[in-house]
C-alpha cells in the first residue's frame, strides 16, 4: 500500500469511527440542543471521513463506501481513543476534547502539505475541527467545574481515557517517510500544543491530568485494536454485509 | 452546570445552577449584511456563550447566519395583549404615515 493511501486511511478512519461513535447519541443526548450539536459533529466527521477515504480509494482502486463498509477490524487505522465506548456524556465529551485538541493542530499543519489533495481536505476540515474544539473544551470546563457529580464523572472519564491519549503522538516508519516527503508533520511535534491546550482546559475545569505515562497503542497501525472496534463495525457495516452492494 | 470560578463569562440573570432545566434564551440571527437580526426561536443553555454555540448548531446549520444575538427570555418585556386597542388602533386611519407616496429607486436594496 502506498504511503498516501495508508495515511489517508489513518485520517479517514479516525473521522469515521469517531463520527459513528458520536452519532450513537442521536436521540439520546441529555438536552435537545446537545443532541443537535452532537449530530452536527458526527456529520462533520463522517463528511471528513468520506473525503479521506475517497483519497485512499483512488490509490487502492476502491470506493470510499467499500473501504468504510467492507474492511475488517485489523484493516482499520484509527486511534484506539476514538473507538472507546461513549459510556456517559462526560466520557463522550472528554474523548471528543482529547481528540479535537490533537486533530486541530494536525489539520492545521496538513493545510501546508506538499500533497495538494491532503492540503485541500485538511483546510476544509480544520474549520470544522476549530468549532469542535471550541465546543468540547467549553463542555469539559463546564462539567469539570460544575456540580460534585459532574466533576466526579469527568475525573472518571479522564482516568478511563488518558491511557488512550498518547498513541496519537507516537511516530513510526510511515510517519518518517511522510515527513521526508513533506506530506505530513511528525506526530510527536504536535504533542506540545496538545499538552498546552489540555493543561489549560483541565486547570479551568478544576481537574488534574492523570500522572500515568503508560499509553496503549496498536490502533493507527491496526496491530491491536480494542474489542470495541469489532462491535462498532458489526452495527456500522451490517447493511453492506447482509445486502452487498445495496444502494438507495 | 455552575461555573463559579469563571467570572468573565456572562451568566443568565435568572440562572440557578442547581436547576435541572437550563434557562431559556431568545435567538436572533442576521442572515445578510445590511439586514437586521431576526428572531428565529428560542433554546435552553446554561450561559450566554453556550447559548451562542447552541444557536449555531440549532439555527444556522443550513448556512442561514452571519451573526447571532442571544437574549435571556426573562429579560424581554412584552406589551400587554389586552391593550391592543389603545396601542395600535389609532394608527389605522393615518395613511399619511406610510412612506407609500414615494418611488423607491431600483437597486436601493433592503429598506
The enclosing domain of B88 has a CATH number of 3.10.20.520
Contacts of A142 in chain B (CB under 8 A): 1, 3, 46, 50
pLDDT at position A44 over 60: yes
Q: Which residue has the cell 446549520?
A: B61
Measured on CA atoms in the order A209, A215, A216, A218, is the torsion positive or negative?
positive
A37 and chain B in contact, CB less than 8 A: yes
In a domain, A247, yes or no: no
Contacts of B54 in chain A (CB under 8 A): 33, 36-37
Q: Distance from B37 to chain A by nearest Cα, in Å?
A: 21
pLDDT at position B1 over 50: no
**Subunit contact A33:B56, Cβ cutoff 8 A:** no
Which among B18, B49, B57 has the least Cβ separation from residue A36? B57
Cα distance from N-terminal residue to C-terminal residue, chain A: 31
**Subunit contact B1:A143, Cβ cutoff 8 A:** yes
The count of structural domains within chain B is 1
Burial class (CB in 10 A: 0-12, 13-18, 19+), A235: exposed
Give the separation between CA A124 and CA A61, rounded to whole angstroms. Answer: 24
Of B20 and A211, which is predicted with more confidence? A211
Report the chain B residue with the minimal C-alpha distance to residue A206. B5
The count of structural domains within chain A is 1
In a domain, B12, yes or no: no
Band of residue B84 on the pLDDT scale cut at 50, 70, 90: confident
Contacts of B5 in chain A (CB under 8 A): 145, 204, 206
In a domain, B65, yes or no: yes
In 10 A of CB A151, how many CB atoms? 17
Per this entry, what is the length of chain A? 248
Question: What whole-number percentage of chain A has pLDDT above 70?
Answer: 100
DSSP-derived 3-state class of residue A163: helix
Report the chain B residue with the minimal C-alpha distance to residue A40. B57
Residue A101 is predicted with a pLDDT of: 98
In a domain, B106, yes or no: no
Strand partners, B70: B27
Which of A17-31, A114-128, B14-28 has the least mean pLDDT?
Answer: B14-28
Band of residue B99 on the pLDDT scale cut at 50, 70, 90: confident
In 10 A of CB A116, how many CB atoms? 8
Give me chain A's average pLDDT, please: 96
Band of residue A93 on the pLDDT scale cut at 50, 70, 90: very high
In a domain, B45, yes or no: yes
pLDDT at position B77 over 80: yes
Angle (CA) B36 B39 B40, round 5°: 120
In a domain, B107, yes or no: no
DSSP A87-146: -SHHHHHHHHHHHHHHHHHHHHHHTT-SSHHHHHHHHHHHHHHHHHHHHHHHHHHHHHTS
B11 and chain A in contact, CB less than 8 A: no
Q: Distance from A216 to chain B by nearest Cα, in Å?
A: 32
pLDDT at position A113 over 80: yes
Averaged pLDDT, A17-45: 96
In a domain, A248, yes or no: no
**Subunit contact A32:B43, Cβ cutoff 8 A:** yes
Residue B4 is predicted with a pLDDT of: 42
Contacts of B50 in chain A (CB under 8 A): 138, 142
In a domain, B86, yes or no: yes
Helix locations, B6-111, DSSP H: 48-59, 84-88
In a domain, B63, yes or no: yes
Contacts of A37 in chain B (CB under 8 A): 53-54, 57-58
Question: What whole-number percentage of chain B has pLDDT above 70?
Answer: 81
Per-residue DSSP letter, B68? E
Which among B18, B49, B58 has the least Cβ separation from residue A138? B49
Helix locations, B1-111, DSSP H: 48-59, 84-88
CATH code of A169's domain: 1.20.1260.10
Q: Do A98 and A198 contact (CB within 8 A), yes or no?
A: yes
Contacts of B12 in chain A (CB under 8 A): none
Residue B62 is predicted with a pLDDT of: 84
The tens digit of pLDDT for each residue in A120-165 reads: 999 999 999 999 999 999 999 999 999 999 999 999 999 999 999 9
Question: What whole-number percentage of chain A has pLDDT above 90?
Answer: 96
Task: List CB contacts of A100: < 8 A, sequence separation 6 or more.
Answer: A129, A132, A133, A136, A137
A32 and chain B in contact, CB less than 8 A: yes
The tens digit of pLDDT for each residue in B41-59 reads: 999 999 999 999 999 999 9
Buried b (16+ CB within 10 A) or exposed e, A190-209: bbebbeebbeebbebbebee
pLDDT at position A21 over 90: yes
> What is the CA A52 to chain-centroid distance, rounded?
13
Residue A247 is predicted with a pLDDT of: 86
- Domain residues for A159? 3-242
Adjacency order of strands within the sheet including B24-30:
B38-44, B24-30, B67-72
* Interface probe with B: pick from A22, A30, A33, most Cβ of B within 10 Å: A33
Contacts of A33 in chain B (CB under 8 A): 43-45, 54, 57-58
Which of A64-78, A206-220, B10-24 has the least mean pLDDT?
Answer: B10-24
Residue B63 is predicted with a pLDDT of: 82
Residue A231 is predicted with a pLDDT of: 97
- Domain residues for B79? 24-96
Q: Which of B106, B6, B78 is nearest to A143 (CA)?
A: B6
Residue A222 is predicted with a pLDDT of: 94
Cα distance from N-terminal residue to C-terminal residue, chain B: 43
Task: List CB contacts of B39: < 8 A, sequence separation 6 or more.
Answer: B26, B27, B28
Averaged pLDDT, B3-10: 43
**Subunit contact A36:B46, Cβ cutoff 8 A:** no
Averaged pLDDT, B102-110: 81
pLDDT at position A52 over 90: yes
Question: What whole-number percentage of chain B has pLDDT above 90?
Answer: 41
A29 and chain B in contact, CB less than 8 A: no
Amino acid at each position: 500500500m502506498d504511503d498516501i493511501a495508508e495515511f489517508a486511511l489513518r485520517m479517514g478512519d479516525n473521522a469515521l469511527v469517531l463520527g459513528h461513535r458520536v452519532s450513537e447519541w442521536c436521540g439520546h443526548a441529555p438536552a435537545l440542543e446537545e443532541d443537535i450539536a452532537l449530530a452536527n459533529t458526527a456529520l462533520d466527521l463522517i463528511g471528513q471521513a468520506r473525503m479521506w477515504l475517497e483519497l485512499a480509494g483512488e490509490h487502492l482502486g476502491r470506493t470510499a463506501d467499500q473501504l468504510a463498509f467492507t474492511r475488517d477490524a485489523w484493516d482499520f487505522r484509527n486511534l484506539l481513543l476514538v473507538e472507546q465506548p461513549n459510556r456517559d456524556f462526560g466520557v463522550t465529551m472528554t474523548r471528543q476534547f482529547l481528540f479535537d485538541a490533537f486533530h486541530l493542530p494536525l489539520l492545521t499543519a496538513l493545510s501546508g502539505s506538499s500533497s495538494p489533495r491532503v492540503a485541500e481536505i485538511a483546510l476544509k476540515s480544520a474549520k470544522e475541527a476549530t468549532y469542535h474544539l471550541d465546543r468540547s473544551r467549553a463542555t469539559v470546563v463546564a462539567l469539570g467545574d460544575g456540580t460534585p457529580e459532574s466533576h466526579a464523572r469527568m475525573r472518571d472519564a479522564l482516568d478511563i481515557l488518558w491511557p488512550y491519549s498518547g498513541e496519537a503522538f507516537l511516530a513510526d516508519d510511515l510517519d518518517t517517510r511522510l515527513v521526508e516527503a513533506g506530506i505530513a508533520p511528525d506526530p510527536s511535534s504536535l504533542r506540545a500544543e496538545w499538552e498546552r491546550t489540555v493543561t489549560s482546559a483541565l486547570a479551568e475545569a478544576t481537574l488534574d491530568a492523570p500522572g500515568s505515562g503508560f499509553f496503549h497503542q496498536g490502533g493507527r497501525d491496526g496491530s491491536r485494536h480494542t474489542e470495541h472496534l469489532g462491535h462498532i463495525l458489526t452495527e456500522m457495516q451490517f447493511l453492506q454485509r447482509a445486502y452487498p452492494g445495496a444502494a438507495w | 452546570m455552575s461555573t463559579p470560578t469563571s467570572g468573565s463569562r456572562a451568566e443568565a440573570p435568572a440562572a440557578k445552577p442547581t436547576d435541572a432545566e437550563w434557562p431559556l434564551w431568545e435567538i436572533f440571527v442576521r442572515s445578510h449584511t445590511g439586514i437586521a437580526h431576526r428572531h428565529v426561536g428560542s433554546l435552553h443553555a446554561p450561559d450566554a456563550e453556550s447559548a451562542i454555540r447552541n444557536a449555531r448548531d440549532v439555527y444556522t446549520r443550513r448556512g442561514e447566519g452571519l451573526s447571532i444575538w442571544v437574549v435571556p427570555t426573562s429579560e424581554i418585556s412584552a406589551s400587554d395583549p389586552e391593550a391592543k386597542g389603545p396601542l395600535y388602533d389609532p394608527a389605522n386611519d393615518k395613511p399619511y404615515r406610510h412612506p407609500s407616496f414615494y418611488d423607491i429607486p431600483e437597486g436601493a436594496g433592503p429598506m
